[in-house]
Structure 1
Amino acid sequence: MNKIDIGFDDLEPQDLAVYDLAIRKGGLPTTHDLSPDGMTPQEVERSVAKLLEMRLLRASATEPGTFVSVAPQTAAAELTSVLVGEVSLRQQAIARIAEGKEALVARYTEGMAAAAGGVHRLKDLHKIRLLLEETAERCRFEVLTAQPGGARSPEILAEALPRDRRMLERGVAMRTLYQRTTRYNQPARAYVEEVTRLGAEVRTSNELFNRLIIFDRETAFIPDHADPLAAVVVREPSIVAFLLEVFERSWQAAEDFDTGSNDRDSGRGISGDVKLSILKLLAEGLKDEVIARRLGMSVRTCRKHIAAIMLQFGATSRFQGGYIAHRLHLLDSSDQEGGPSGVETEDG
């Protein structure tokens, strides 16, 4: 039986007449010699076929050549069992189609990127994650990552850790850049502690360019400027080489992410170089929101630091605070670790 939309309400009057006759007579001969009044043998044959399909008739086990009636509840149970089996088969087929589709998405995306000259835009977050996972699983020797922003989502880190662990355990070299304020984020510190134990290198920088992931110096993932939820996959060699150079320059200027308990940034105090960065950006006349974004901290935290610095210098405006720092030669060297003290941090 292939139809799954059959029901007892499909029975027509002649079908019911044949069923009634089988009940009253205790059976019907397979030759259809016995038939309701007014029905031709051909009509009886069609009704018998329908009743057999609906499990309301069956061949007699004791009287060969005879069809006997079946109780409706028994027929319904048999039909339901058949339909449940068919539904299960359909569900299995649907699952196989879905699995096959997911396995082909990454291949299709890469093919589209190649057809588009090595640059392809992805708008679907699920496809982005799928392609990231697939590319990470095929990564052979190196992955480079730049993650701006201070706080790291525990959910994202929990999702990334198994993938990164698999790469590290098969010998893939991993280098990651964070902004210095990430040192205050406990989920990030726990993640860094785990991956560095497995051989990854992690450094921090006061300022960082946009998010970037490069696999095997061949495939890069960068944000879509027009859509924060989209990504651009780059395989064009010249563009990837440029992104590699940007990463290497930032890597050389960064310092190790120390997860030890003695790290002076792991507590509530803000380091001198972060203060220095704030002063430099103040001197440039940048707004609080821009400074916070470039240093990877919340606007509230940034404003608290700025207020403390202005109070210490006796400045009445943000630009004046930067100007005073410049007059005091605090901005003369980008390597200077000193600066105003007494500013506390509070992530928000």
Structure 2
Amino acid sequence: MYTLTGVLWGGLMLKSVNLDKAVEPVYLLLLRRPGITIAEISAVLDIADTEVKKCLDVLADLALIRRSWQDPEILMPMNPEKVFEAVLSQKQAELAKKQHEMEELRAVAARLVNEYAVEYSYGRGEACERLASVEAVRARMDDLVAATTAETLAFAPGGPQTPENRAASRPLARSLLSRSVVMKTIYLDSVRNDPGSLEHALWLSENGAETRTVPVLPLRLQIFDRRSALIPINPEDSSQGAILVEEPGIVAALYAFFRLVWETASPIAQPKRTRDISAASPQERELLRLLAEGLTDEAAARKLGISLRTERRMITEVSARLEAHSRFQLGQRAAENGLLSPDASFTAQSGMT
């Protein structure tokens, strides 16, 4: 007999394969009462035999049930673990493909921005407009928000948002949401550890906006109605101002890049998942990748929007789970567990020898 835990686990698996709501109770009943007949299922669930048979056809296609060898009228559930593993493998492959596409688009976007925005200074009314100060950017933002009618998309890097930034953004957000404009924002995972930033992100979600987080973002970005985009003149220092881009090709590339990042991001209200000793969170994976690329602890912490102390604590925790006693060994163990490329290694830095 299947335990209650097994039944609940089976229900979660069914959601992962997007079964119709009518099919799920049929399968769960089979888990609880293996050997039940079609007539008995119909009686217990109070549905017609024809509907039961349709549900059973779906379950049979997924290899979740079989007929008894002794009596074809008796239905037996199959172990759902194999199906779940296949679904998980498929989703992991899809995620890897999207991440690869995201890296390619990141490179294309960086090249386009460099060629069409950074090297040239355009006046207002041209395909690109240079806004040389924070004040100029905020003033232009007011115009853009007022003209937006359908959608605004944003990357918000830099880790926890300052109280000033949060206060300045709320009137703009209210203006957009009051007009039923779709508003999607991606923050760094590190905002989850800052009460003020987390409260602001949740406030956006509660008021109709959509907010997600990722371990690292390449630059600050705002896209309005897929027609114009604001990007920083210097991605490392947004105080130097921004470029307003209205070149269709550049905006389309930035929009595609945003969509790929959005699909791999986690909703702000999503609970943390437990993981085994060799697993790593997206933020930890990104930290390992940055260190493998040769970044110092300080530079990696800045990229992730976290303090140096937090970055080193993360290294210590990952090293403990992987039983690594040096930076070099951490690189080896991370690669062995599929967290890095096989030839990755770290140089020795302070905190580990």
What's the counterpart of residue 265 of structure 2? Answer: 254
What's the counterpart of residue 13 of structure 1? Answer: none
2:168 aligned counterpart, secondary structure = helix
Change (3 A) 1:235 1:319: farther
Task: Pick which of 246-255 and 218-227 moved more.
Answer: 218-227
- In the alignment, the residues of structure 1 paired with residue 172 and residue 339 of structure 2 have an alpha-carbon distance, to the nearest angstrom, of 43
1:292 to 301, 308, 320: 301
1:162 to partner: Cα distance: 1.6
**Which structure 2 residues correspond to residues 262-301 of structure 1 after superposition, within 5 A?**
263-264=271-272, 272-301=281-310
2:186 aligned counterpart, secondary structure = strand
- In the alignment, the residues of structure 1 paired with residue 224 and residue 238 of structure 2 have an alpha-carbon distance, to the nearest angstrom, of 21
- In the alignment, the residues of structure 2 paired with residue 272 and residue 239 of structure 1 have an alpha-carbon distance, to the nearest angstrom, of 32
1:211 to 220, 233, 239: 220
- Say whether residues 1:323 and 2:338 are aligned partners: no
Amino acid of the structure 1 residue aligned with 2:164: E
- In the alignment, the residues of structure 1 paired with residue 337 and residue 201 of structure 2 have an alpha-carbon distance, to the nearest angstrom, of 37
What's the counterpart of residue 46 of structure 1? Answer: none
Amino acid of the structure 2 residue aligned with 1:293: R
Q: Is the 8 A contact 1:285 1:318 kept in 2?
A: no
What's the counterpart of residue 130 of structure 2? Answer: 121
Q: Is the 8 A contact 2:152 2:223 kept in 1?
A: yes
1:312 to partner: Cα distance: 5.0
Q: Output the TM-score relative to the length of structure 2.
A: 0.55
Change (3 A) 1:135 1:328: closer
Q: Which runs of 5+ in 2 are unaligned?
A: 1-121, 274-278, 342-353
Change (3 A) 1:272 1:281: same
Cα deviation digits, residues 285-310 of structure 1 (max 9, x gap): 33212322332212231122223433
Change (3 A) 1:182 1:324: same
- Say whether residues 1:234 and 2:245 are aligned partners: yes
1:223 to partner: Cα distance: 0.6
1:199 to partner: Cα distance: 1.2
What's the counterpart of residue 81 of structure 1? Answer: none
- In the alignment, the residues of structure 1 paired with residue 260 and residue 197 of structure 2 have an alpha-carbon distance, to the nearest angstrom, of 23
- In the alignment, the residues of structure 1 paired with residue 340 and residue 280 of structure 2 have an alpha-carbon distance, to the nearest angstrom, of 15
What's the counterpart of residue 43 of structure 2? Answer: none
Q: Which runs of 5+ in 1 are unaligned?
A: 1-110, 333-348
1:127 to partner: Cα distance: 1.4
1:148 to partner: Cα distance: 1.2
- In the alignment, the residues of structure 2 paired with residue 163 and residue 157 of structure 1 have an alpha-carbon distance, to the nearest angstrom, of 10
1:114 aligned counterpart, secondary structure = coil
Q: Output the TM-score relative to the length of structure 1.
A: 0.56
1:155 to 146, 149, 164: 164
Cα deviation digits, residues 158-198 of structure 1 (max 9, x gap): 11112101110111110111111111121122112222122
Q: Is the 8 A contact 1:203 1:256 kept in 2?
A: yes
